[in-house]
Amino acid sequence: MLREDRITLADLVAVLRECAGEDESVDLGGDIGDQPFTDLGYDSIALLETSARMADRFGLVLDDDVLGELVSPADLLRYLNGAPPRRAAMAEPGADMTPAANAARAGEA
C-alpha cells in the first residue's frame, strides 16, 4: 500500500531544524535536495534524531542501517515516499525495504 500523502522537502526541513537546528552558513530554504547531509551540517546523530521524529510525526520507521545509506534529503524523501534512493544499496540486491513495501508486505501476511 502506497502512502496517499507524500512527505515533502518542506516537511523534512522542518523536522531537521527541530532536531539539530540549522547551520548558519547553509540556506535550508534553497534547493538542498541533492546536497549531502554532511554538507548541510547534519551528522549521523542528527539523522538518528530525525528518524525518531519522522516515526513520531508520520508513523514511518527507518531502519538505522538504511538511514546510514541515505546521503541527501532527496534520498531520504524517495525512501520515505516509497521509492528506493538512487545511490543507496538497500540490504540485498533486489530487496525492497521502503516503508511502503514493508506496509504492503505486512498487509499480505
pLDDT at 66: 86
pLDDT at 35: 92
Q: Which value, to the nearest 10 degrees, does the dihedral of the CA atoms of residues 5, 6, 8, 12 take?
A: 90
Q: Which residues of the chain have pLDDT under 70?
A: 1-4, 22-23, 25, 83-109
Looking at residue 3, what is its pLDDT? Answer: 46
Task: Check residue 92 and give its pLDDT.
Answer: 46
CA distance 8 to 80: 10
Q: What is the reported pLDDT for 10?
A: 92
pTM of the predicted structure, to 2 decimals: 0.67
pLDDT of residue 105: 54
By three-state DSSP, how is residue 34 classified?
coil
DSSP string, 51-108: HHHHHHHH--PPPHHHHHH--SHHHHHHHHTTS--SS---SSTT----HHHHHHHHHH
Task: Report all structural domains of the chain as residue ranges with CATH numbers, in order of start.
Answer: 9-108 (1.10.1200.10)
